[in-house]
């Protein structure tokens, strides 16, 4: 059995300058890490007067870097600059903006800014009078002509108690802009492909207020849809999960919300007609009540007779109707003999890949942010993806999808 190496996470240097808005950088850090980004925080000495380095070290992907001289590497700014896929500075003070524009490199952050060829995103924050000062505007104009991306401040309440323009953009805006820029520069190996992903557990009604379902959160399916969109695919997500999609993929994902297995079957049938790849990650209920009543059941009415019937086998149906060259990926959530049962399911369903998930394993399965799976191949291969984030699992599965899609195209 092979072991999949998770795709390299994009690397972002998060620079934090000394200003009252530095507290917002904590949320920027958290949002980027949650999106699967490797974040290295670089704090100026003044920044530590407003926020603690321990906070960033706990949330980020590696400890805070603060000085040109404390790092074991003799050239930390070069290591950070060359290794970054993007550098974001939030908040960017007037002082740091001026030093960057002038090419000064007297601290770790400014030296890193000069040592990188990655995109740079500056998020200014300062009082209105400073923001409107000609020297600040000239410096920003110069940096923008050099290709620096500026996320402008907002109008609102400022540290002095008054209001005006200069307030740091909200963390969700900054994180979305960073992810958008990463998406532009990331690999686009799914560009031109139409990918359909299903996610979540279906709800089969007993009455207007009760239903049969399972513990699926939809996190893994949503992670697959987001990863596919970021890798360039046009994605249709058929989901029963209420999870929100990150702003940077809103334009790349067509979302279809469903509730029952019948709803999902209908939506997937329509979406599958033009799909190049179908990833059936949803945990469709195996059974549903044979009869659903239109009014709420009550104890006063006695215990109702519950008769179940099987739901449609959506995956087998998709396999039976798929077009030549269409790649089909199934999921199997098991609690015992997972791989053995997975091989049988792969043969029975007629899919190309089957992602087997032992949901009884610690940290894996339903409602976790992590997962561990084994991907079975119709050719008889098995690839183990050890416990990691669901984002990393999604990218590892998509790596295998790409490999199989290329093999399929080369053989036709």
The CATH number of residue 363's host domain is 3.40.50.10300
Query: Does 268 fall in a domain?
Result: yes
Surface-to-core class of residue 295, CB atoms within 10 Å of its CB (0-12 exposed, 13-18 middle, 19+ buried): exposed
Query: Does 4 fall in a domain?
Result: no
The whole-angstrom separation of Cα 263 and Cα 282 is 12
Number of structural domains (the chain) is 2
Query: Does 81 fall in a domain?
Result: yes
Query: Does 3 fall in a domain?
Result: no
Give the per-residue pLDDT at 6.
Answer: 47
- Yes or no: say if 394 and 387 are a contact pair by the CB < 8 Å rule: no
The whole-angstrom separation of Cα 235 and Cα 370 is 23
Residues 200 and 127 in one domain: no
Q: Please say which residue of 185, 220, 254 terminates a domain.
A: 185
Given the structure tokens 């808005």, which residue do they identify? 21
Residues 107 and 138 in one domain: yes
Residues 318 and 277 in one domain: yes
Annotate the chain with three-state secondary structure: CEECCCCCCCEEEEEECCCCCHHHHHHHHHHHHHCCCEEEEEECCCHHHCCCHHHHHHHCCCCCECCCCCCCCCCHHHHHHHHCCEEEEEEECHHHHHHHHHCCCCCHHHHHHHHCCCCEEEEECCCHHHHCCHHHHHHHHHHHHCCCEECCCEEEECCCCCEEEEECCCHHHHHHHHHHHHHHHCCCCCCCCEEEEEECECCEECCCCCEECCCCCCHHHHHHHHHHHHCCCEEEEEECCCCCCCHHHCCCEEEEECCCHHHHHHHHHHHHCCCCEEEECCECCCEEECCCCCCCCCHHHCCCCCCEEECCCHHHHHHHHCCCCCEEEEEEEECCCHHHHHHHHHHHHCCCEEEEEECCCCCCCCCCCEEEEEEEECCCCEEEEEEEEHHHHHHHHHHHHHHHHHHHHHHC
Give the per-residue pLDDT at 359.
Answer: 92
Catalytic residue numbers, as ranges: 214
Q: What are phi and psi of 189, to 5 degrees?
A: -75, -5
Question: CA 245 from chain center: how many Å?
Answer: 8
Expressed as residue numbers, the domain containing 208 is 194-411
- CATH code (residue 174): 3.40.50.1950
Residues 122 and 211 in one domain: no
Give the per-residue pLDDT at 37.
Answer: 92
Please give the span between the terminal C-alpha atoms of the chain, in angstroms, as a whole number: 28
The β-bridge relationship of strands 370-377 and 327-334 is unpaired
Residues 176 and 203 in one domain: no
Residues 149 and 258 in one domain: no
Query: Does 146 fall in a domain?
Result: yes
Residues 198 and 154 in one domain: no
Q: Give the total residue count for the chain.
A: 412
Give the per-residue pLDDT at 2.
Answer: 63
Query: Does 368 fall in a domain?
Result: yes
Nearest alpha carbon to residue 404 among 314, 326, 304: 326
* 163 DSSP β-pair partners: 157
Residues 277 and 371 in one domain: yes
- Positions of the chain with pLDDT lower than 50, given as ranges: 6
Query: Does 273 fall in a domain?
Result: yes
Q: Please say which residue of 185, 203, 233 terminates a domain.
A: 185
Please, what's the largest Cα pairwise distance for the chain? 81
Residues 123 and 100 in one domain: yes
Residues 230 and 274 in one domain: yes
The whole-angstrom separation of Cα 67 and Cα 64 is 10
Task: Give me 165's structure tokens.
Answer: 């323009």
Residues 145 and 30 in one domain: yes
Surface-to-core class of residue 327, CB atoms within 10 Å of its CB (0-12 exposed, 13-18 middle, 19+ buried): buried
The β-bridge relationship of strands 353-358 and 370-377 is antiparallel
* Residue pLDDT, tens place only, 78-95: 889 999 999 999 999 999
Query: Does 25 fall in a domain?
Result: yes
- Whether a cis peptide bond, with omega within 30° of 0, leads into 91 is yes
Nearest alpha carbon to residue 331 among 216, 247, 253, 229: 216
Give the per-residue pLDDT at 1.
Answer: 63
Q: Please say which residue of 134, 162, 185 terminates a domain.
A: 185
Q: How many CB atoms lie within 10 A of CB 45?
A: 12
Residues 283 and 153 in one domain: no
């Amino acid at each position: 059995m092979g072991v999949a190496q998770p795709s390299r996470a994009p690397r972002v240097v998060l620079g934090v300058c000394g200003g009252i808005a530095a507290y917002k950088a904590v949320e920027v850090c958290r949002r980027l890490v949650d999106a699967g980004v490797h974040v290295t925080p670089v704090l100026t000495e003044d920044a530590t007067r407003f926020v603690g380095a321990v906070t960033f070290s706990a949330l980020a992907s590696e400890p805070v870097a603060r000085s040109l001289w404390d790092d074991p590497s003799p050239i930390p700014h070069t290591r950070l600059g060359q290794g970054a896929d993007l550098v974001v500075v939030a908040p960017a003070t007037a002082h740091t903006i001026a030093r960057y524009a002038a090419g000064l490199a007297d601290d770790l952050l400014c030296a890193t800014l000069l040592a990188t060829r990655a995109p740079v995103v500056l998020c200014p924050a300062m009082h209105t009078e400073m923001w409107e000062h000609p020297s600040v505007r000239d410096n920003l104009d110069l940096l923008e002509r050099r290709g620096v991306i500026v996320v402008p401040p907002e109008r609102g309440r400022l540290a002095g108690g008054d209001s005006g323009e200069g307030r740091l953009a909200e963390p969700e805006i900054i994180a979305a802009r960073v992810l958008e820029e990463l998406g532009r520069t990331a690999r686009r190996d799914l560009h031109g492909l139409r990918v359909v992903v299903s996610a979540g557990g279906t709800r089969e009604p007993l009455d207007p207020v009760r239903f049969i379902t399972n513990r699926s959160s939809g996190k893994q399916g949503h992670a697959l849809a987001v990863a596919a969109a970021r890798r360039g695919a046009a994605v249709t997500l058929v989901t029963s999960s209420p999870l929100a999609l990150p702003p940077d993929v809103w334009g790349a994902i067509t979302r279809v919300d469903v509730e029952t297995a019948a709803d999902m079957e209908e939506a997937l049938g329509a979406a599958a007609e033009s799909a190049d790849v179908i990833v059936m990650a949803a945990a469709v209920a195996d059974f549903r009540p044979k009869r659903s009543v239109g009014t709420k059941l009550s104890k006063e009415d006695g215990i109702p007779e519950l008769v179940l019937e099987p739901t449609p086998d959506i995956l087998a149906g998709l396999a039976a109707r798929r077009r030549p060259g269409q790649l089909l990926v199934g999921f199997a959530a098991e609690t015992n003999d997972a791989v053995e049962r997975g091989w049988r399911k792969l043969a029975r369903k007629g899919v190309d890949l089957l992602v087997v998930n032992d949901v009884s394993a610690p940290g894996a399965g339903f409602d976790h942010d992590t997962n561990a799976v084994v991907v079975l191949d119709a050719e008889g291969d098995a690839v183990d993806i050890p416990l990691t984030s669901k984002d990393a699992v999604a990218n590892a599965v998509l790596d295998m999808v790409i490999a199989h899609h290329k093999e399929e195209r080369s053989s036709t």
